[in-house]
């Protein structure tokens, strides 16, 4: 299964590779080896995007689950909120998933610039805020672009009711997803350096 919009990335290089391969097979090109090499390159590009846009089936984990695949970069309290921040590499699954059942209150674009996503000042980068109403109170999920990843793609809109573990968007080519939880209502179950999987790995539980 692939994320929405995958066809427009996978299709063109696959189509070019198929056409070039057909020309080689039909022997209608002056330099078959060169055209075959180009066909292989096109297939490699299509394969890269196929891996990048993969959207594997996931069964939701217990408690509050990670919104992104990757490695936890920070778990920290800021005022009345608890932050769990996950950094995604290029090879991670890039479809982001709801950390818990929620109604989407708003989806807003903000920020400027494309600093490396692991830096503290990347919080000002181009990003997208998803403000959610949940059973534990207001939750915010923020997709943050980076030096290479420059597009946040939403799959949901204000008013949507989205189940825990369901896809809500993706960031093209990596970067970071921050989940802000009401600190008085939860306790973190991960630490910086932990590997997590979107929709599956618990990152917090409701406090007793």
pLDDT digits (tens, 9 = 90+) for 18-58: 877 787 788 877 887 887 888 888 888 777 776 667 777 88
Helix axis angle for 32-52 and 7-25, nearest 10°, is 160
Residue 190, pLDDT score: 97
Residue 18, pLDDT score: 84
Assess if residue 80 is contained within a domain: yes
35 with 101, same domain? no
Assess if residue 57 is contained within a domain: no
89 with 159, same domain? yes
Cα separation of the two ends of the chain: 38
Residue 198, pLDDT score: 94
119 with 33, same domain? no
* Residue 129 belongs to domain with CATH number: 2.70.70.10
Assess if residue 2 is contained within a domain: no
Residues 77-103, mean pLDDT to the nearest whole number: 92
Coil, strand or helix at 49: helix
Phi, psi (degrees; rounded to nearest 5) at 48:
-60, -50
17 with 77, same domain? no
Question: Using CA atoms, how far apart are residues 56 and 97, in angstroms rounded to an integer?
Answer: 12
Coil, strand or helix at 52: helix
**Residues of the domain holding 117:** 64-206
Residue 175 is among the residues annotated as catalytic for this protein: yes
30 with 133, same domain? no
Strand segments, DSSP code E, in the chain are: 64-65, 70-78, 81-88, 95-97, 102-110, 127-134, 137-144, 151-154, 161-162, 167-172, 175-182, 186-188, 195-196, 202-206
Average pLDDT, the chain: 85
Assess if residue 1 is contained within a domain: no
Residue 179's CB: how many other CB atoms inside 10 A? 26
Q: What angle do CA 5, 10, 15 make, to 5 degrees?
A: 130
User: What is the reported pTM?
Assistant: 0.79
> Which one of the listed residues 59, 66, 78, 175 is annotated catalytic?
175
132 with 30, same domain? no
Residue-wise burial string across 32-66, b where 16 or more C-beta atoms lie within 10 A, e elsewhere: eeebbebbeebbebbeebeebbebeebebbebbbb
Assess if residue 31 is contained within a domain: yes
23 with 91, same domain? no
- The domain tally of the chain equals 2
Question: How far is the CA of 42 from the CAs of 5, 8, 23, 100, 200, in angstroms?
Answer: 19, 14, 14, 39, 34
33 with 83, same domain? no
Assess if residue 58 is contained within a domain: no
101 with 19, same domain? no
Assess if residue 168 is contained within a domain: yes
68 with 46, same domain? no
As a whole-number percent, the residues of the chain with pLDDT over 70 amount to: 85
46 with 69, same domain? no
User: Between these two residues, 57 and 191, which has the higher pLDDT value?
Assistant: 191
106 with 161, same domain? yes
């Amino acid at each position: 299964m692939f994320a929405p919009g995958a066809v427009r990335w996978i299709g063109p290089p696959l189509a070019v590779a198929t056409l070039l391969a057909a020309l080689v097979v039909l022997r209608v090109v002056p330099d078959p080896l060169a055209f075959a090499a180009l066909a292989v390159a096109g297939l490699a590009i299509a394969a890269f995007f196929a891996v990048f846009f993969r959207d594997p089936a996931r069964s939701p984990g217990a408690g509050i689950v990670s919104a992104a695949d990757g490695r936890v970069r920070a778990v920290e309290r800021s005022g009345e909120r608890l932050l769990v921040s996950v950094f995604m590499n290029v090879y991670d699954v890039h479809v982001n998933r709801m950390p818990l059942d929620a109604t989407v209150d708003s989806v807003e674009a903000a920020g400027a610039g494309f600093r490396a996503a692991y830096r503290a000042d990347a919080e000002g980068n181009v990003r997208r805020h998803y403000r959610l109403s949940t059973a534990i109170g207001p939750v915010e999920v923020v997709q943050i672009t980076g030096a290479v990843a420059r597009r946040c793609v939403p799959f949901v809109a204000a008013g949507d009711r989205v189940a825990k573990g369901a896809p809500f968007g993706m960031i093209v080519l990596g970067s970071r997803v921050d989940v802000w939880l009401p600190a008085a209502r939860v306790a973190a179950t991960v630490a910086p350096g932990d590997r997590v999987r979107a929709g599956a790995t618990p990152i917090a539980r409701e406090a007793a």
